[in-house]
Structure 1
Amino acid sequence: MSHHVPSGEHDVVDLAVIGAGINGLAIARDAAARGLRVVVVDRADVGSGTSSTSSRLIHGGLKYLERYDFALVNESIRERHLLFRTAPHLVRDYPMLIPFYKGNTRPGTLIRLGLLAFDVLALNRGRGLSRTVPVRKVARRWPTLSRDGLRGAALFHDAQVPWAERLCVELFLDARRLGARVLTYTSVTGLVVEGDRVAGLRTEDVRTGESSEIRAAVTVNAAGPWIDRILDGQIESRRLNGGTKGSHVVLDPFPGAPDTCIFFEAAADGRPIFVFPWQGRYVLGSTDLTYEGDLDEVVASDAEIDYLLAETNRIFPGAGLTSGDVLWSVAGIRPLPYTAGVSDNAKISRGHTVLDHGPAYRGLLTVIGGKLTTHRALAEDVTDAALRALGRRPRPCVTRERPLPGAETSAWPEFVRDFLRDSPLDRASSRRLLQLYGVRARRVLEIAAGDPSLAEVVDKETGALAAEVVMAVREEGAVTLGDVMLRRILVGLNGDMGLDSAATCADVAVRHLGWDEDRARSEVAAYEKELRRHRPRALAEAAGGGVGGSNGSGRTA
Structure 2
Amino acid sequence: MSYPHTGPGDVIDLVIVGAGINGLAIARDAADRGLSVVVVDRGDIGAGTTSTSSRLIHGGLKYLERYDFTLVNESIRERHLLFRTAPHLVHDYPMLIPSYASDSRPGPLVRLGLAAFDVLAARRGRGVSRGLSARRIGQRWPQLSRDGLRGGVLFHDAQVPWAERLCVELLLDAERLGARVLTHTTVTGLIVENGRVLGVRTTDNQSGRQGRIRARLTVNAAGPWIDHVLRGQIECRRLNGGTKGSHVMLDPFPGAPDTCIFFEAAADRRPIFIFPWQGRYILGSTDLTYDGDIDEVVASDAEIEYLLNETNRIIPQARLTPADVLYSVAGIRPLPYTTGVSDNAKISRGHTVLDHAPAYAGLLSIIGGKLTTHRALAEDATDAALKVLGRPRRRCNTRTRPLPGADTADWRAFRAEFQHSAAPFTADQRTRLLDLYGVRARRVLELATTDQSLAEVVDEQSGAVAAEIVMAFREERAVTLADALLRRTLIGLGPDMAVSTAVTCADVAVRHLGWDAARARTEVAAYHAELRRFRPRALQLSPATPNSDRRTS
| TM-score (structure 1 length as normaliser) | 0.97
Partner Cα distance (1:240, 1:553) in 2: 26
Corresponding residue for residue 500 of structure 1: 500
| Secondary structure at 2:320 match in 1 | coil
Runs of 4+ in structure 1 over 6 Å off? none
- The equivalences for 1:265-414 within 5 A come to 265-414=264-413
| Secondary structure at 2:65 match in 1 | helix
Corresponding residue for residue 78 of structure 1: 77
Corresponding residue for residue 550 of structure 2: none
| Secondary structure at 1:449 match in 2 | helix
Partner Cα distance (2:239, 2:442) in 1: 44
| Secondary structure at 1:329 match in 2 | strand
Corresponding residue for residue 4 of structure 1: 4
Residue 368 of structure 1 deviates from its aligned partner by 0.1
Question: 1:175-216: CA deviations, max 9, x gaps?
Answer: 011000000011111111111211100111111111100000
- The equivalences for 1:356-505 within 5 A come to 356-424=355-423, 425-505=425-505
Residue 9 of structure 1 deviates from its aligned partner by 4.3
Partner Cα distance (2:286, 2:375) in 1: 26
Residue 10 of structure 1 deviates from its aligned partner by 2.8
Residue identity matched to 2:518: D
Corresponding residue for residue 178 of structure 1: 177
Residue identity matched to 1:485: L
Q: How many residues align?
A: 546
| Secondary structure at 1:157 match in 2 | strand
| Secondary structure at 2:99 match in 1 | strand
Residue 392 of structure 1 deviates from its aligned partner by 1.1
Partner Cα distance (1:71, 1:109) in 2: 24
- The equivalences for 1:7-156 within 5 A come to 8-156=7-155
Partner Cα distance (1:10, 1:366) in 2: 26
Residue 482 of structure 1 deviates from its aligned partner by 0.1
| Secondary structure at 2:457 match in 1 | coil
Corresponding residue for residue 225 of structure 1: 224
Partner Cα distance (1:43, 1:450) in 2: 35
Q: Please, which runs of 5 or more residues in structure 2 have no aligned partner?
A: 548-553
Corresponding residue for residue 544 of structure 2: 551
- Indicate if the aligned counterparts of 1:480 and 1:523 stay in contact, CA closer than 8 A: yes
Partner Cα distance (2:224, 2:118) in 1: 33
- Indicate if the aligned counterparts of 1:4 and 1:205 stay in contact, CA closer than 8 A: no
RMSD: 1.0
Partner Cα distance (1:4, 1:306) in 2: 47
- Indicate if the aligned counterparts of 1:90 and 1:163 stay in contact, CA closer than 8 A: yes
Residue 450 of structure 1 deviates from its aligned partner by 1.0
Residue 2 of structure 1 deviates from its aligned partner by 2.2
Partner Cα distance (2:102, 2:504) in 1: 53
Corresponding residue for residue 243 of structure 2: 244
Corresponding residue for residue 166 of structure 1: 165
- Indicate if the aligned counterparts of 2:246 and 2:331 stay in contact, CA closer than 8 A: yes
| Secondary structure at 2:458 match in 1 | coil
| Secondary structure at 1:519 match in 2 | helix
- Indicate if the aligned counterparts of 2:16 and 2:38 stay in contact, CA closer than 8 A: yes
Residue 553 of structure 1 deviates from its aligned partner by 6.4
Corresponding residue for residue 551 of structure 2: none
- Indicate if the aligned counterparts of 2:300 and 2:545 stay in contact, CA closer than 8 A: no
Residue 420 of structure 1 deviates from its aligned partner by 0.5
Residue 393 of structure 1 deviates from its aligned partner by 1.2
| Secondary structure at 1:361 match in 2 | coil
| Secondary structure at 1:97 match in 2 | strand
Corresponding residue for residue 258 of structure 1: 257
| Secondary structure at 1:58 match in 2 | coil
| Secondary structure at 2:412 match in 1 | helix
Residue 550 of structure 1 deviates from its aligned partner by 2.1
Residue 457 of structure 1 deviates from its aligned partner by 0.3
Question: 1:270-300: CA deviations, max 9, x gaps?
Answer: 0001001000000000000000000100000
Partner Cα distance (1:386, 1:191) in 2: 18
Question: 1:343-396: CA deviations, max 9, x gaps?
Answer: 110000000000000011111000000100000000000000000110111111
Residue identity matched to 1:180: A
Corresponding residue for residue 537 of structure 2: 537
Residue identity matched to 1:501: T
| Secondary structure at 1:199 match in 2 | strand
Partner Cα distance (2:197, 2:397) in 1: 28
Partner Cα distance (2:286, 2:15) in 1: 34
| Secondary structure at 1:203 match in 2 | strand
| Secondary structure at 2:96 match in 1 | strand
Question: 1:445-488: CA deviations, max 9, x gaps?
Answer: 00011111111000000000000000000000000000000000
- 1:522 lines up with 2:515 in the alignment: no
Partner Cα distance (1:244, 1:10) in 2: 41
- Indicate if the aligned counterparts of 1:3 and 1:185 stay in contact, CA closer than 8 A: no
Question: 1:238-281: CA deviations, max 9, x gaps?
Answer: 00000000000000000000000000000000000100100000
Question: 1:308-353: CA deviations, max 9, x gaps?
Answer: 0000000000000000000000000000000012111000000000
Partner Cα distance (2:479, 2:322) in 1: 34
Residue 16 of structure 1 deviates from its aligned partner by 0.3
- Indicate if the aligned counterparts of 2:2 and 2:477 stay in contact, CA closer than 8 A: no
- Indicate if the aligned counterparts of 2:137 and 2:152 stay in contact, CA closer than 8 A: yes
Partner Cα distance (2:263, 2:546) in 1: 31
